[in-house]
Amino acid sequence: MPVLTEDKLAGDIGVPPRMTPPSGGDGRGEPDSSFPVSSRQMATWLLMTGVGMLFAGLTSAYIVLRGVPTWEHLQLPPMVWGNTLILLVSSLTFDLARRAVKVDNISAVRKWLGLTAALGIVFVSGQILLWRQMTASGLLLTSTLHSSFFYVLSGVHAVHILGGLIGLAWVSVQAWKGRFSSISFEPLRLCANYWHFMGGVWLFLILLLVFA
Amino acid sequence: MQVQHATEHAHPQLGFWRKYVFSTDHKIIGIQYMITAMAMAVVGGLLSMLMRLQLAWPSQQWPMLGKILPVAFAGNIMDPGFYVSLVTMHGTIMVFFLFTAVLTGAFGNFLIPLQIGARDMAFPFLNALSYWVFLLSCIVIISALFVAGGAPLGGWTAYAPLSALGEASGPGEGAGMTLWITALGLFTISGLMGGLNYVTTILTMRTKGLSMMRLPLTQWSLLITAILGLLAFPVLLAAAILLTFDRMGGTSFFIPSGIIMNNRLLGNSGGHPLLWQHLFWFFGHPEVYIVILPAMGMASDILSTFCRKPIFSYKMMVYSMASIAGLSFIVWGNHMFVSGMSPFLGSVFTMTTLVIAVPSAVKTFNWLGTVWGARIRFTTASLFSIGFISVFVSGGLSGIFLGSSAADIYLQDTYFVVAHFHLVMAIAPLFAAFAGIYYWFPKMFGRFMNEFLGKVHFWASLIGVYAVFFPMHILGITGHMRRIYDPLFYEFLKPDQAMNVFVSVSAFALAAVQLIFLANFFISIFAGKKVNENNPWHATTLEWETPCPTGHGNFGDELPVVHRWAFDYSVPGAKNDFVPQTVPPGGEKV
């Protein structure tokens, strides 16, 4: 069955997908709309837009204060790159889960989702360890503007990753219950979108913090 | 009319608590927003009455107030700190918890599914959650009035470094300011949940035949507003996060080096107080349009209905709202002309600001074009829509002076500014909200509000707002500063005092008139004249296809199908002077 139909068939999880949208709508109203994007997809894009603007606001503050004469640029511990790598790998495993569901390999979906969640937890734990390491070496929240930005940006990002982990946990439960198939896996795909987006945000932030 | 089924059977009957309190029905949530915002308006209005009392009679003793508010009126005279906290709380409550809440929260929730032919919002639970978080934010902001030290002193803009330094910079800057930031954080989260829902619903859940260019202007305005909110509110949240770290984490994002508090040099270094202003106004200017755009959309639709004419130049109305929204992101510097900004940058912001006058004027002329030659039905709703145009133009014209940096340097922080923004972004949206309430009340409650009392309310309000705010322009030109506690302190302001008294007396009268509205609203819910038809105003849009009040699920078994735009009034050859959107081509003649 062509995967392209999945967008149009995003019924509630557990409900057998309908091939022909009923006239009059189903309460969610989507079938009657000619709009080519589902409600959930649209909401996910909007969520990412809002989160993007939050980090754009924080970034603009960074750029403004980067220009003050008293700015002290710090060397961040190498561990930051290890954490970054873990998050990027977790994006890869999430994508492998998405690819697995497209060929109805549900056991692989469970495996890759589990691994993604584990990597996500390792990333957040790694960030906490990184903060502890920095604190131990005397780089506190209040030490310099650069250290303040590092703690705030990585902290706000970590909160968003935790949100992603909650979504991932829900998606994993659904996968465990066998609610996904090659024609109905929109929640998994949207959660993956968000996860990749937060991975991209982190890559941007770390490049900003290290090189800008 | 194609669809006139009773709708209750579309959804199961719910108990009282699920139906009216913990409801996920967009209409109930809209009404919850409306009544909560009204309660906030009463609080915000009372605070302004206290301010006007002080400004008219600065040295007066008020023994009764001294008994009721012994700390704020110690020695029966208003405390200066309390006055400044009134300024902060009045502005904050009115901008966020009244105007934003009533225009997008109340009307957005109530109208979006009804006007696009959907049964509910895309995410009803998220919608309900948005209201409860909003209610929590209301409780938190009100509690700032009651904590030790009182409410914050920094104005609704919470300028740093005063807002970043904590209690040391003033009594209200401790717990009061913390609650202020918390309330705004909660409000932002609530707004984001709502905005996400609005955009998704309008884009993806329109019924069959309802293309974007067939949407009523109310829907366009709510869509554009929600997009503005999604782009602007996160920046306020970013600023609030940094401010919180400055206040509680010891960081220096907004606190520069060399600040001495209580004879102690603070250890902060490197921060930039103007950064707060940039972030705040990057949010703050779009916020002005978040308030006014839904007002424009609603007033346009109501005006067209009662003029029995199509809105003049529908497409230009849509494009001008979109361009106003886009431009609103590149004008924030007009709030900062006296902040030491480079004059060149100032002239750039002047130019972008003045460009907004173009789409605003397009809209104004289109409204005039709609009214021109119309046989207007003068209901309370149509009067308030016309009043909206009057007040919007009066307030908008003074914006042209304030938008030019050269004039603004003189007028900045005077009562001229107070007059301008009150007319254009407080009274104009308020008038549109009143128009909306009188117009959609039958759909909400199945009864009419009293038209006679409504007209008394309109005329007294129209006279009242000009009596209050017009003299403020003159006060501002004479140099009368805003946020000032005692005008008699300055010799050069003493000749203004008679005008201050006039403004205050007018303000008390204006506030008293609003009691007529409140009484009319609440009594009419239970005792207003019953509505016996779906479409009492003979309007064209989809909400009028449903019963008054509309039941859960909105429409019957079948959702309506749309065949035309929302402005088919006085169509030549048609049987009636209105053709609902559901009438197929040619059906209007039958």
pLDDT-flagged residues of chain B (< 70): 1-13
Cα(A122)–Cα(A119) distance, integer angstroms = 5
Per-residue confidence (pLDDT) for residue B156, from 0 to 100: 94
Please check whether residue B317 is in contact with residue B295, taking contact to mean a CB–CB distance below 8 angstroms: no
The interface predicted TM-score of the complex, written ipTM, equals 0.93
Nearest by CB: A43 against B120, B200, B233:
B200
**Interchain proximity A28–B205, CB inside 8 Å:** yes
Give Cα A81 distance to the centre of its chain.
18
B457-506 pLDDT tens trace? 999 999 999 999 999 999 999 999 999 999 999 999 999 999 999 999 99
Query: Which pair of tokens denotes residue A126?
Result: 């790694």
The runs of H, that is alpha helices, within chain A are 39-66, 79-102, 106-136, 145-176, 186-211
CATH superfamily name and code, A41-211: Cytochrome c oxidase, subunit III, four-helix bundle (1.20.120.80)
Q: Is B90 on the interface with A (CB under 8 A)?
A: no
Short-list A208, A68, A21, CA closest to B255: A68
Helices and strands: H and E segment counts in chain A: 5, 0
B151-183 pLDDT tens trace? 999 999 999 999 999 888 888 899 999 999 999
Please check whether residue B572 is in contact with residue B552, taking contact to mean a CB–CB distance below 8 angstroms: no
Most B CBs within 10 Å, among A23, A33, A45, A63, to test the B interface: A33
Q: How many Cβ pairs closer than 8 A exist between chain A and B? A: 148
Distance from CA of B104 to the nearest CA of A (A): 17
Nearest by CB: A24 against B206, B211, B559:
B559
- For residue B247, the tally of other CB atoms under 10 A from its CB is 22
Query: Using a CB-CB distance cutoff of 8 angstroms, which residues of chain A are in contact with residue B120?
Result: 27
Three-state SS at B143: helix
Output DSSP code: residue B163. G
Per-residue confidence (pLDDT) for residue B12, from 0 to 100: 60
Most B CBs within 10 Å, among A40, A47, A55, A58, to test the B interface: A58
Q: Which residues 100-139 of chain B have a CB within 8 Å of chain A?
A: 117-120, 122-123
Query: Using a CB-CB distance cutoff of 8 angstroms, which residues of chain B are in contact with residue A37?
Result: 203-204
Nearest by CB: B270 against A49, A61, A65:
A65
Give Cα A2 distance to the centre of its chain.
26
Nearest by CB: B231 against A29, A30, A53:
A53
Query: Using a CB-CB distance cutoff of 8 angstroms, which residues of chain B are in contact with residue A55?
Result: 238
Q: For A145-166, b where at least 16 C-beta lie within 10 A, e where not — what string?
A: bbbbbbbbbbebbbebbeebbe
Short-list B587, B567, B112, CA closest to B305: B567
Length of chain A: 212
The whole model's pTM is what?
Answer: 0.93
Q: What percentage of chain B exceeds 70 in pLDDT?
A: 98
A63-77 pLDDT tens trace? 999 999 889 999 999
Cα(B583)–Cα(B235) distance, integer angstroms = 45
Confidence band, pLDDT 50/70/90 cuts, at residue A1: very low
Burial class (CB in 10 A: 0-12, 13-18, 19+), B311: buried
Distance from CA of A41 to the nearest CA of B (A): 9
- For residue B584, the tally of other CB atoms under 10 A from its CB is 13
**Interchain proximity A53–B211, CB inside 8 Å:** no
Query: Using a CB-CB distance cutoff of 8 angstroms, which residues of chain A are in contact with residue B559?
Result: 24-25, 29, 32
Distance from CA of B567 to the nearest CA of A (A): 21
Per-residue confidence (pLDDT) for residue B124, from 0 to 100: 96
Per-residue confidence (pLDDT) for residue A97, from 0 to 100: 97
DSSP B88-121: HHHHHIIIIIIIIIIIIIIIIHHHHHHHHT-SS-
Cα(B285)–Cα(B584) distance, integer angstroms = 43
Per-residue confidence (pLDDT) for residue B489, from 0 to 100: 95
**Interchain proximity A39–B204, CB inside 8 Å:** yes
**Chain B residue at shortest CA distance from A155:** B241
Please check whether residue B102 is in contact with residue B135, taking contact to mean a CB–CB distance below 8 angstroms: no
Three-state SS at A166: helix
Per-residue confidence (pLDDT) for residue B578, from 0 to 100: 97
Q: At CA A54, angle to CA A49 and CA A58, rounded to 5?
A: 140
Nearest by CB: B208 against A32, A39, A50:
A32
- For residue B264, the tally of other CB atoms under 10 A from its CB is 9
**DSSP bridge pairs for A141:** none
Please check whether residue B342 is in contact with residue B405, taking contact to mean a CB–CB distance below 8 angstroms: no
A27-51 pLDDT tens trace? 344 445 578 899 999 999 999 999 9
Query: Which pair of tokens denotes residue A197?
Result: 């987006």
Domains and their CATH numbers in chain B: 26-256 (1.20.210.10), 308-526 (1.20.210.10), 529-590 (no CATH)
Q: At CA B151, angle to CA B149 and CA B154, rounded to 5?
A: 110
Give domain limits for chain A: 41-211
Query: How far is CA B535 from each of CA A120, B295, B524, B528, B567, rounded to the nearest angstrom?
Result: 55, 22, 18, 17, 15
Cα(B399)–Cα(B413) distance, integer angstroms = 14
Query: Which pair of tokens denotes residue B342?
Result: 């480079």
Please check whether residue A156 is in contact with residue A53, taking contact to mean a CB–CB distance below 8 angstroms: no
